[in-house]
Every structure is written in structure tokens, then in C-alpha cells.
A and B are shown apart, each in its own frame.
Chain A
Amino acid sequence: MAALPVVAGVFILLPQSVTDQARVWAGPAFTPLQNLTAGWTLDIAEQIHDDGAPPPTRAPGLQNHVDTLENALAEATARLAEYDRQVQDLARLRQALDGLPCRLVPARLVAPEVPGGRAGGMLAQGFLKGVRSGGAIISRRLTRGTREAIRQGEPILTAAGLVGLVDKVGPLTSTVRLLTDPRTSLMVQTVTRRDGQWRPGPEGVARGTGDGTTITVEGISRTSDVQPGDFVVTSPSPEAALPAYLIVGRIARCDLKATDLFYSLVVEPRVPLPEAREVYVLSPDVQAGGQ
């Protein structure tokens, strides 16, 4: 009994933190009726007690919301830039076509479906699908078909120039014969720039070499004024199947043997054909009575 005052004195001398901890520990034992009288209370501490309801889900923090909006803005800006580029391409194409009654169908070129390139048994299938030895791609697939009123032989181009021709047309997709395909044959004309002036040059026939990167133009007389760097465009001749002055490429080499009467012009397509993606199909405008 005499020790009790000493114990009380020890308690008094303990730090306040110990006292508070003891109250926290012992508190629940002396408050079993808290919930019954909870509606009476004005104590803020009791007001925030968990009454069994699930804690509210925290809304995303402001910083997370800002980050999300910034990401969306960056994505929208990138899309807008892409749309602007497409609009500019279309504007250039329209200007180049100079009022030709036609419609430009946007499309996308995809890689040919070649199931592997090294296995011997696959080479034939690759050949049939437009893949030559060395991996040269001369045929692609187009994401447009009869559903968009695409027809065989229609030119495929970008703002930079001609890419190829529609080959086989399916309901949803079509195959594309690129300019470098040996089966591609176009009537073309050279365009030269001399002394700051553009001049039309002689006409010839362009054929793909099959290497995936070059075209050969035949029938250019050896007396013609042509040199590397000159442009090659589709011929304005009425016999030509394509609209006139679509850019085919630039002359890379003028091969001429001593005994030849004609140049063998090696032309590089204006558009890097293996990398072309977003293209347009030049289709006649039926309502305008197009070509």
C-alpha cells in the first residue's frame, strides 16, 4: 500500500508521450458505448471514426490528372501535325493535277505477306508475292479495294511522286505493282532544267528493273539533252494510260555504249518505294466524267 504513492509519482514523472500512449492503449476498454452515443457527440475525433463504411476511393491526384492531360495533349498535337501534313500533301497533289477531274482515295501500303525469306521452300511463294532475291520488294498490298471503287491500273502516288499501279483488286485490299516491278511499263517524259528554265525532254518507256530501287527508261535518243538529276514524269501523250506529269523519279545514271543509239537511263523513284506508307489512289471522278 505504501508503494502506491511512489508508483503514482513515477507515472507523473513519465514523459507525456508515454502517458498518451497508455491512454491510447487503454482507451478502447473504457469506451465500449461510443457507437451508441455517437450521434450525440460533438468531438471531432469521434466524428471521423470508421463506422464500417468503406473508405472513399481517393480521386486521382491533381498531378496525375495534369500528367494525363499533358499526354493527351501531346498525342493530339502529333495527330494534328499528321493531319496537317496530309492536308498539305493533298493540296500539292491537287495543284499538280491541275484541275484534273479525279478523286484521291487515301490508303496505306503494307508489306507483302511473305512467310519467311530464307527457307528454300518459301522462295517460290516469295517470288510470286513480289519478293526477289536479295529481299527486294516489288509488290505491296493496299488497304483499299472494290469497296472504295478502286480499279485495276489506277496510279498510286504521294505528294512526292508516283509509287505504283493497282494490280489485283479485292473487296477490301488490293495488290500494288511498284514502279520497280519488271511488269510495270509506263510512258514517260524527261524534264530538264537548263539555265534556270524547265524544258520538256524526249519521251520514252519506263520499266522496273526488279531490284526494288531503280527503273530503267528506254527509247531516249543518244542525241537528247539528258543528264543525271533530270526529272522523269508520266507522259502527256494521249496514248499514256496515266495522268500526265506525275513525277516518276530522277535520273541517276545515263548508260550509253558506243554502239547504242539510245540511252539506258537509270532512274531512282522519287518516293522510296520500300518505305512508302501513306499513299493516295488516283481514281477518276465518275460524276465529273473524268478520264
Chain B
Amino acid sequence: MRWILVAIIGYAGLVIETAVFRPGGLAVPIDGHWTRPDLALVVAVFVALYFQTHEVFIVTWLLGLGADLVSVSGRLGVQALAFSAVLTALSTVRRSLNRGWVLTQSVLCFAAVLVIHLAWYLAARHLAGAAPAVLRSVEEAALDATYSAILAPYVFWLLMRLRGPLGILVEPHEI
């Protein structure tokens, strides 16, 4: 039941991301880049903060693979590898973080999206034979990270409403 719910939440995040946050929708054009949040990564950050480490690895790998499938560029496996690597590392230090703070949630999502999207854009450009355009990749990743960080508290709030079915144990101050 728990894993089915996690799969449904991850799937819903990807569907909403592709259906709503698209050019002409809620995606925002900034400096030639259609900025949109990475809802699948925000859900993955939530999983990294509240699930066991070994569970985080598998779930984030699968969420990353889903993100690869809905992407229009790059190779399969890049985001799956990045999701699992970055978020597993995050889950090892979650006990030192105040997971209930909105600031923590936003900063962590910003950092995760920045790192993973930067890696993704650089890899996509490299694999496509284009110039790395590091600064451009950083700019694009930062824009995505900012948009994700803005929405992260709201996503976390919704997911916390499902903490019971998800089997998440939280401290009273984290609710």
C-alpha cells in the first residue's frame, strides 16, 4: 500500500509537470529558457527526508528514470543516476536537518534541483555534441531550482497530509 501510494504520487507529479508546467502553460520563459519546477524531484526530496536510506535509493532511482522518460533530450539513466546519488546522500544527513521548516524544504529542493539539473543539462549538451555552455547550464538549472523551491513547501504540505498512508513518522513540531 505504501509503495503503491508512492508510485501514484510520483506518477502524478510527472503528469502534472508535463501537462501544466509547459510552454504556454505555467512554465515561465526567462532569458530564452522555459523555466518549470521539477515536481518529481521535489517528491524525491520528500522521500529522501522521510524514508529509510535503502528505500530512498530505489524510489529516487525510479523517479529519476520517470523524469528521463518524460524529458525531450539527453540519455536514459542520467537523471535516474543523479536522483539516486544526490538524494541518497541527502538522506544520510537528514537527521541533522529540521525537516519541518519551510526554509529547509525550499533550500534543500533548490540545492537538489540545481545540482541534478546542472548535471543533466551538461550531460545532454555533451552527449548531443554541443558546447558545454557551463554558465548557460548553471543559469537554466538555477531558474528551475528557484521555481521548484517556491513550490516545495506546498508540495511538502500536501504530502504531509498523507503521512499516515505513507507510514511516515514525524515529530510534532514537523507537522
Contacts and interface: CB of A to CB of B under 8 A. Distances in A.
Interface of A: 1, 4-5, 7-12, 14, 16, 18-19, 22-23, 26-27, 30-34, 36-37, 40-43
Given A1-B54, A32-B15, A33-B15, A41 B23 contact: yes
A-B pairs with the 10 shortest C-beta distances?
A: A11-B77, A33-B19, A42-B24, A11-B76, A8-B77, A8-B81, A12-B77, A40-B25, A26-B69, A40-B24
Nearest to B34: A42
A223 B137 CA distance: 121
Contact of A37 (B22, B77, B84, B127): B22
A4 B78 contact: no
A17 to B, nearest CB: 11
Given A12-B76, A12-B78, A27-B69, A4 B61 contact: yes
Given A5-B85, A12-B81, 16 more contacts: A1-B54, A4-B58, A4-B61, A5-B84, A8-B81, A10-B77, A11-B80, A12-B76, A14-B75, A30-B14, A31-B18, A31-B19, A32-B15, A33-B15, A37-B19, A37-B25
Contacts of B76: 11-12, 14, 18-19, 22-23
A22 B69 contact: yes
A122 B85 CA distance: 105
A43 B22 contact: yes
Nearest to A32: B15
Interface string B49-74: 00000100110010011101111101
A174 to B, nearest CB: 80
A40 B22 contact: yes
Nearest to B66: A30
A23 B79 CA distance: 14
Q: Report the interface size class on chain B.
A: 20 to 34
B20 interface: yes
Contacts of A9: 77, 81
Contacts of B64: 8
B77 A41 contact: no
23 contacts: A1-B58, A4-B57, A4-B84, A8-B78, A10-B77, A11-B76, A12-B75, A14-B77, A16-B75, A16-B127, A22-B69, A23-B70, A30-B15, A31-B15, A32-B15, A33-B19, A36-B19, A37-B20, A37-B22, A40-B24, A41-B24, A43-B23, A43-B24
Contacts of B23: 41-43
Nearest to B11: A30
A29 to B, nearest CB: 8
User: From DSSP, what is the main secondary structure of chain B's interface residues?
Assistant: helix
Given A1-B57, A5-B81, A27 B70 contact: yes
A8 B15 CA distance: 22
Nearest to B24: A42
B92 to A, nearest CB: 14
A7 B85 CA distance: 13
Contacts of A16: 75, 127
Nearest to A26: B69
A8 B25 contact: no
B53 to A, nearest CB: 10
B86 to A, nearest CB: 13
Given A31-B19, A36-B19, A11 B57 contact: no
Given A19-B76, A40-B25, A30 B20 contact: no
Nearest to B68: A11
B61 to A, nearest CB: 5
A41 B81 contact: no
Given A4-B58, A4-B61, A41 B25 contact: yes
Nearest to B20: A37
Contacts of B80: 4, 7-8, 11
Contacts of B57: 1, 4
Most interface-central of B18, B19, B23 (chain A CB within 10 A): B19
A32 B24 CA distance: 18
